[in-house]
Each structure stands twice: as structure tokens, then as C-alpha cells.
Chain A
Amino acid sequence: MTTSLARASKRVPAPASQDPELLRRLLRAKDRMDAASHEEWPVSRLARVSCVSEAHFARSFKDAFGVPPHRYLLTRRIERATALLRDTNLPIIDIAFQTGWKSLGTFGRTFRDITGESPGDLRSQQKATLHELERVPACFVSAAQRPALTIAVSEKRRQEARDINDASEQEEVS
């Protein structure tokens, strides 16, 4: 009984219905990030595209699309980088700068945190498998291959660190 109550209280309420007219304007901001994910997209810039206040933008974007705007941008950049690793022979540092990162180190670390692999490892794997993606219009491939990032990258890092600690503790016990 207590557990079910605890679970019920933890349940995330479904976002209330949103004004379609507002959603259409939020979609415009999302489209702009898709078209130029290598650019900087502070909330102030996105809010201007959607013609709403910054506070309103951040909250309604998350309600509409399930992730905060900066995290959405991050997944777009990772998807772009993955595609460039797969489809081109560009050096990884060029890919990092082309997709909007300011340093190779940050790119490599974030890429590994999100995909579980280093850019170099992912490239060799992808190059080894055959793709027929040229048969699919590119924007649909992009949208479909965006990594799911349901938690913040920092939280993902903490979780993985915890898992490693747990595993080593268990080894010590047994």
C-alpha cells in the first residue's frame, strides 16, 4: 500500500494541453536549431524566434518536445557528428568544430558520455557496416538517428560513476 502510494506521488504528471498556435512557434525555433545546430542557440535567441519570453520559452519547449532546448541541441550536434564520422573522412577535430564544439576534448567527452563510444571507435564500426541511407531523404535519417537523451549529461556521468563504484564494491564483498 505504502509503496503504491509512493509510486503514485512520484509519477510525473502529463503536461497539460498546449495552445497549438504557441506550439507552431516553438516548432519554428526547433527547426532553426535543426538547420544550424553548429550555431549558438541561447534561450534568448530561441525565445525571439518563437516570439515568447525566455522563461515561457524554456518551460513550454520542454513540455512540447520532452527535453530542454539546450539538450535538444546537444542531441542534434551528436547526430550531425555521427553522420560526418560515418559519411566522410574528415579529421575528428574538424568534425568537432563543424558541429559546434569549441574544443576537441569537450566534444570527445560529451560524445562518449552520450553514445557510450569514442568518436574514433564509432567511426571504425560504422565504416565496417553497409548502409543504404542514401535511399532515405537525409532530414528523416537525421531526425531518426538523434540520440535519446532523457537525462542531463552530467546526471548520466554521475550514474555511470555510481555503477562503477557499485560494481567494485560488490567485487570487494565477494
Chain B
Amino acid sequence: MSQGIEVVGLYVRDQDEAVEFYVGKLGFRVHTDARNGNYRWLTVQHPEQPSFQLGLFAPEQPALDAATVQAMREIVAKGGMPPLVLVVDDCRAACEQMRSRGVEFTQEPIDRYGRVDASFRDPSGNGWKIIQAR
């Protein structure tokens, strides 16, 4: 595939903490970690999805003005960002493994419409749904 979506970004409160979470706890890999002064372009990848990168960006000046940076940080911390969905082969097993690594679940796995699903948040407040593949 040569056309399509390559990067979609999230706002996180702290990029080091985000790497620790997405790589250390969820098992993603770092794709790009490029720094220039205070600026850091950081993307991670799901090990089974090489064509897609998840950007872990910090709302920062000067890309945004100070008031917007503050507003963004508040919105992320309040869970106001859009939904994210992760698909796994075995939801209960995946949740068990993630929990043992210290992931904070907001909804235990339940069977709904014939599929198991659960919810968790990253340390910043971004909410993920984790759903069993059909």
C-alpha cells in the first residue's frame, strides 16, 4: 500500500511518560523520535501495523500560543479528546497482561453483542476502547 493515512497524533502531557506507557505497557515500538531544541517529533507503531504511526505530541509553544497550550492540556486531562479503539485477538488475555504492567482500566472486560470489550486510559487521559477482533 502506498496511499493512505500514515500518522495520526494524540496530545500527551509528557512524552517520556507516553513512551513508557505505549512502548513499555502496550507493547508498541518507537518509529521516530526526532528532537530539535525543545521540539520532539515522536511516533510509535503497533508491531503488527507497519504502515501506521501513532504520534505522541505535546501541546507546546510556539506552535500554539500559551493560552491554547493550557486549554489543550486541560481538555486532554478531562478526557475530552476523541475515542481511540484498539483491536486484539483475545481481549481478556490482553487486558490481563496490560493490567500486570500497570495499565489503568476504566471498564472491565465484558461480553457485549458477542464481542468482549474493555476500556482504559493513558496517563494523560486519552481514552481507549479495546475490542476483540471478530
Contacts and interface: CB of A to CB of B under 8 A. Distances in A.
Interface size class, chain B: 20 to 34
B96 to A, nearest CB: 18
Contacts of A34: 106-107
B125 to A, nearest CB: 5
A137 B79 contact: no
A134 B117 CA distance: 12
Interface residues of A, number: 20
A27 B83 contact: no
A1 interface: no
Given A17-B70, A20-B74, A35 B125 contact: no
B63 interface: no
Contacts of A20: 13, 73-74, 76-77
Residue among A26, A30, A31 facing the most chain B CB atoms (10 A cut-off): A31
B35 interface: no
Contact of A27 (B71, B78, B108, B117): B78
Interface string B90-131: 000000000000001011100011000101010111000101
A-B pairs, top 5 by smallest CB distance, nearest first, are A23-B77, A20-B77, A20-B73, A31-B106, A24-B77
